[in-house]
Chains A and B, each alone.
Chain A
Amino acid sequence: MKAFAYARPSTTDEAIATFSSSSGAKFLGGGTNLIDLMKMGVEQPSTLIDITRLPLATIEEHAGGIRIGAMVRNSTVAEHPLVRDRYPVLSQAILAGASPQLRNMATIGGNLMQRTRCSYFYDPTYAHCNKRLPGSGCDAIDGYNRMHAILGASDQCIATNPGDMAVALMALDARIQVLGPQGPRSRLAGDFFRLPGDTPNIDTNLRPGELITAVDLPPIDWATGGHYLKVRDRNSYAFALISVAAVVGLDSNGSIRRAQLALGGVAHMPWRVPDAERVLIGQTPGDGAFRDVAEALLKGAKPYAHNRFKVELVRRSIARALEAASTRA
């Protein structure tokens, strides 16, 4: 691991000032991804700014919804009564990720910043990775790309976002609160992540020096009809091949009143197409409607040599997740 300076600020302002005064600094949350990437030599920060002791670790009711501080641990969010009761899809998504030990370490803010598990990115012995070395090429496109994207990729990068929590936050229209040198601002989850385009080295739309301070869940009372389905190679402790976060609200006559869903494991960001969701409105939950929304979400899908199975897996996973969410709605 390359040497770095270690800073332990006690306020958010101090953390942001420390970042501004050093080039190549990184904020350190639970470290479950960043420390690993530093061991691999993929990340080489000049300064690590330990933000785990900042006063950003509360969960509280806020504007009719819930505000989760960026330094709350994943396990705490998943087990919190407000989250479990009102936004079960988020609790399920977090518990589907990693292991109990890692969830005890990982923070909500850090989890949003985790990087792809594309093996060509993660292992510097591969020469070509535009995400790790801009302009070097992409070994995944013609390589073993079973885990890779089928939607929204570019000829520069076909990596996927590995997150589970992020998929649920996308489906819930969560808002990410940040504080930067220019003050506070916020972005919807859908505007926080980005597609790779010509700059796959940039994962999110955070500006340099901005610190995630909180995640806000919106004041919706129908998210109780939620389900997170994760399809993976083993039953636990594995990254998703495909995941679906589905939230469904039904009318009194049993037809779909509201539906929001996002896919994991298919793109550089959690994949959501609000126009596709409208296909479901007014429909009776069932295979016909579920197939239609899957086709709308898969529009433009481009599989690679080893991940063609993902297209059909998306169709089936969407149907199962929507069925489960509808049952709970």
Chain B
Amino acid sequence: MNVASLSAGIAATVPLAEAQTVPSASEIVDCAITVNGREYALTLDPRITLLDLLRERLHLTGAKKGCDHGQCGACTVLSGGTRINSCLSLAVTHNGDFITTIEGLARNGDLHPLQAAFIEHDGFQCGYCTPGQICSAAGLLNEVRGRAKPLDDAEIRERMSGNICRCGAYPNIVAAIKAVRGRVAG
């Protein structure tokens, strides 16, 4: 891209290196994404990650930007019921998808069973990783739904390995998930 191809008014005031990162109008993408049951018609710079869309544009700040590289899991949300790292996912790739964040788990003012269990079992200390932990646990329970084999502590730990808790609340997180799994699996 050269200066002449940039939108009028940008090249005059912004250094070239900065200006080159501003996409031209043709690079803006229309997108429809449903978040927590509400459909949003969006016009997006394709660089925006799902995490930044949620936090910066939709003001759903539950999902956290921990590492921003898919290593900590604090940004975990559900896409069609499947847990993903929203920091490594471009928002435009979610056209037509149904996203659920921590803000969308409660129903009619009642906490999601996992939210209640995290409180009951003290599954957090500072709370920063908790929205990601709970969304990840919700995805985990979807993955093992209908399975006869019990979910033991070792398997919960392995299946939750994508969510780091630097306070070290792991034992209580495992207990909370186990309690909910025991209830829904009967």
- Whether A237 lies near B162 (C-beta < 8 A) is yes
Are B68 and A31 closer than 8 Å at their CB atoms?
no
Chain B proximity of A10: nearest CB distance (Å): 12
* A102 near B47: Cβ-Cβ < 8 Å: no
Asked if A101 contacts B85 (CB within 8 A), the reply is: yes
- Verify B21–A35 contact, CB threshold 8 A: no
* Number of residues of chain B lying within 8 A (CB) of chain A: 37
Q: Which residues of A contact B89 (CB under 8 A)?
A: 31, 35, 105
Cβ < 8 Å to B, chain A residues 6-26: 6, 8
**B93 and A31 contacting across the interface, CB-CB below 8 Å:** yes
Tell me if A100 counts as interface (CB < 8 A to partner B): yes
Chain A residue nearest to B164 (CB atoms) is: A237
- Determine if A1 and B70 form an interchain contact, defined as CB atoms under 8 angstroms apart: no
Interchain CB contact under 8 A, A3 and B139: no
A104 at the interface (CB under 8 A from B): yes
In the complex, the answer to whether A237 meets B161 with C-beta atoms within 8 Å is: yes
Instruction: Determine if A35 and B73 form an interchain contact, defined as CB atoms under 8 angstroms apart.
Output: no
Q: A6-B46, A32-B70, A39-B68 are in contact. Are A100 and B85 (CB under 8 A)?
A: no
User: Are B69 and A39 in contact (CB-based, < 8 A)?
Assistant: yes
A102 to B93, CA, bound (A): 15
Determine whether A48 belongs to the interface, using a CB cutoff of 8 Å to chain B.
yes
Among B1, B68, B162, contact of A100 (Cβ-Cβ < 8 Å): B162
Partner of A31, one of B1, B73, B88, B161: B88
B159 within 8 A of A: yes
Q: Tell whether, in the assembled complex, residue A6 and residue B85 are in contact, meaning their CB atoms are under 8 Å apart.
A: no
Task: For B161, give the chain A residue with the smallest CB separation.
Answer: A236
A3-B20, A32-B70, A236-B161 in contact; A100/B83 too (CB < 8 A)? yes
Question: B56-89, CB under 8 A of A: which get 1 and which 0?
Answer: 0000000000001110010010000011110011
Give the shortest distance, in Å, between A310 (CB) and chain B (any CB).
Answer: 24
Interface string of A39-51 (1 = CB under 8 A from B): 1000000001010
Q: Does A4 contact B (CB under 8 A)?
A: yes
Please measure, in the bound complex, the distance between the C-alpha atom of A32 and the C-alpha atom of B88, giving whole angstroms.
6
Contact at A48–B46, with CB atoms within 8 Å?
Answer: yes
- B125 interface residue per 8 A CB criterion: no
Q: Distance (Å) between the CB of A110 and the closest chain B CB?
A: 12
**0/1 interface trace, chain B 20-61, chain A, CB 8 Å (1 if under):** 111100110100000000000000011101000000000000
Name the 9 nearest CB pairs between A and B, nearest first. A99-B162, A6-B46, A236-B161, A3-B23, A237-B161, A1-B47, A101-B162, A101-B85, A35-B88
- A sample of 26 cross-chain residue pairs with beta-carbon separation below 8 angstroms, ordered by A number, consists of A1-B21, A4-B23, A4-B27, A4-B47, A6-B27, A6-B92, A8-B92, A31-B90, A32-B70, A32-B85, A35-B49, A35-B89, A35-B90, A39-B68, A50-B93, A99-B70, A100-B83, A100-B161, A101-B136, A101-B162, A102-B70, A102-B85, A104-B83, A104-B139, A105-B84, A105-B89
A-B contact sample (19 more), CB < 8 A, given A3-B21, A36-B69: A2-B20, A3-B45, A3-B47, A4-B47, A5-B26, A31-B88, A31-B89, A31-B90, A32-B70, A35-B49, A35-B89, A35-B90, A99-B161, A100-B139, A100-B159, A102-B70, A104-B84, A105-B85, A236-B158
| Chain A interface residues toward B at CB < 8 A | 1-6, 8, 28, 31-32, 35-36, 39, 48, 50, 52, 75, 98-102, 104-105, 236-237
Give chain B's interface residues, CB within 8 Å of chain A.
1, 20-23, 26-27, 29, 45-47, 49, 68-70, 73, 76, 82-85, 88-90, 92-93, 95, 136, 139-140, 143, 157-159, 161-163
